[in-house]
Structure 1
Amino acid sequence: MSVPPAAVPSSEPVATPNSAPTQADLLDFVRRTAADTELVASLPLDPEGRTWVRLEGPGGSEAWLIGWPPGTGTGWHDHAESVGAFVTAAGELREHSLAVRLPADGWKTLELTDDVDRSRRLPAGKGRCFGRHHVHEVLNESTDLHAISVHAYYPPLPQIRRFSRSGPILRLEQVERPEDWQ
C-alpha cells in the first residue's frame, strides 16, 4: 500500500461532543464528505495500491478517504466492536457481505450456511451503514477506472479481523491493530 498523505480536516461533526455518533450520523457524514468534489479530487491515486487520507469524523469517529486502483479489494474482514458507514465518492465498488453475526472470540474456522451471502453494487453516491462484527469485502471490479470512497467508524477501530474464505469455510487468519495501518 502507498504511504498516506497528511490528514485532511472534514466537515463539521454531526454528533454533539457528549454523544457517540450513530450509524445514521456516520452515514450522513460519509455522504456529505463524498459530495465534496474538491476533497475527493485532492486524493493522490496510485496505480499499484490503495491510497488513503485520514479525516476528522463526527463525534470522535475514525474516518478515511480511500482510493482504489482497478482490480483491488480489501479481502474478507470485520471491524470488531465498531459500527460504520461508507459511500462511494467516484467510480463504483462492490461489497460482498455475510448476513451472520460471528462470535467475537474463541474460534478459528466456521462453516457458513448457504443463505448468508449478500452482494451489492455501490456506484458513486451510494453507500451503507453497518453494525458491529459486520463481515465483508469491498472490491473495485473495474479493469480501468479508480474508485474513491469515504469510510467512518465509531468507536475508532480497535482491531480488524482478516479472514480467508473457501466455499462455506471462513477462517480467521490475522488480527490487525491500529498501529498496523496508521
Structure 2
Amino acid sequence: MVRMTVTADVSRTPVSKDLAERARLLAENCDEWLHRVRLDPQGRWYERLHADADHEVWIISWLPGQSTGFHDHGGSAGAFAVALGSLKEVAVNGNGTVSTWTLEAGQAHGFGEHYIHDVRNVSTAPAISVHVYAPVLSTINRFDLSPSGELVTLKTEQSEEW
C-alpha cells in the first residue's frame, strides 16, 4: 500500500461540463436503454452502452447500500447523472477535506481528470445512473481514506478487469 497526499481535481472544466450535459440528456431519455438495466444484490450492475475514440458511456444500477468506494478514473475526465432515485457523492478535495452532497434524478455532476470520489446509494430504493468518460477509461485506482485525510492506494484495476 502506498500513502499519498490528496491531489483531487474538483474543478469543472469545459470538458467535464460537456460530459455532464451528455450524461444528463442520456439519463433524461432513458427509454432507449432502461430495458437493459438489471438489479444485482451482490453488487452494482453496470454495462457499457457506447465507446468510441472520443468517449464512453456506462449505465449503473445501485441497490440500497451499494457503493463504489473511493476511486479515480485513471486520468479521464467524467460525469454522471442520476436517471432514477438518488445517489450520495463524497469527494476528496485537494486540501484533504471531504465534500458530500446528494444528486437526485435529473441532476448531473462533471469532474476533471484527477478527481477522487465515492458514490453510494444511501436511500431505501434502487437508483440508476449514466456515466460518461473522456477519454475512454483504461485504469481505475482504488483508495482508502485515512482518518487524517490521507489517501492510501489499495490497487489499480485495468479495463480488462471490468
**TM-score above 0.5:** yes
Shift of 1:148: 0.4
1:60 is displaced (CA, Å) by: 2.6
Q: Which residue of 1 aligns with 2:131?
A: 151
Aligned to 1:166: 146
**What's the CA shift string for 1:117-169, capped at 9, x where partnerless?**
11111011112100011010001012x31110000111111211100122123
Q: Which has the higher relative contact order, 1 or 2, with Cα contacts under 8 A spaced 6 or more apart? A: 2
Q: 2:75 matched to which residue of 1?
A: 81
Distance of 1:127 and 1:160 partners within structure 2: 21
Matched, 1:32 2:12: no
CA drift at 1:22: 2.3
CA RMSD of aligned residues (A): 1.8
Distance in 1 between residues matched to 2:107 and 2:78, nearest whole Å: 15
Per the alignment, residue 118 of structure 1 pairs with: 99
For 2:41 and 2:102, the matched residues in 1 are separated by: 22
Deviation at 1:47, TM superposition (A): 2.6
Normalized against structure 2, the TM-score is what? 0.83
Map of 1:47 onto structure 2: 41
TM-score, normalised with respect to structure 1: 0.75
Counterpart amino acid of residue 120 in structure 2: L
Residues 16-40 of structure 1, C-alpha deviations (whole Å, 9 max, x = no match):
xxxxx92232112111110123223
Paired residues in the alignment total 147
Are residue 134 (structure 1) and residue 115 (structure 2) matched?
Answer: yes
SS at structure 2 position matched to 1:60: coil
> Which structure has the greater CA radius of gyration?
1
> 1:177, CA displacement in angstroms?
0.8
Counterpart in the other structure of 1:178: 159
CA contact (8 A) 1:40 1:89 kept: no
- 1:41-66 deviation digits (Å, cap 9, x = unpaired): 54122233211121225763021000
In the alignment, structure 1 segments of 5+ residues that lack a partner are: 1-20, 101-111
Matched to 1:156, the amino acid is: V
SS of structure 2 residue aligned to 1:162: strand
What's the CA shift for 1:81? 1.2
| Percent of aligned pairs with the same amino acid | 39
Work out whether 1:72 is the aligned partner of 2:66: yes
Task: Determine if contact 1:49/1:72 at 8 Å carries over to the other structure.
Answer: yes
Query: Does the residue aligned with 2:40 lie in a helix, a strand or coil?
Result: coil
**Separation in 1 of the partners of 2:86 and 2:60?**
13
Greater strand fraction, Structure 1 or Structure 2? 2
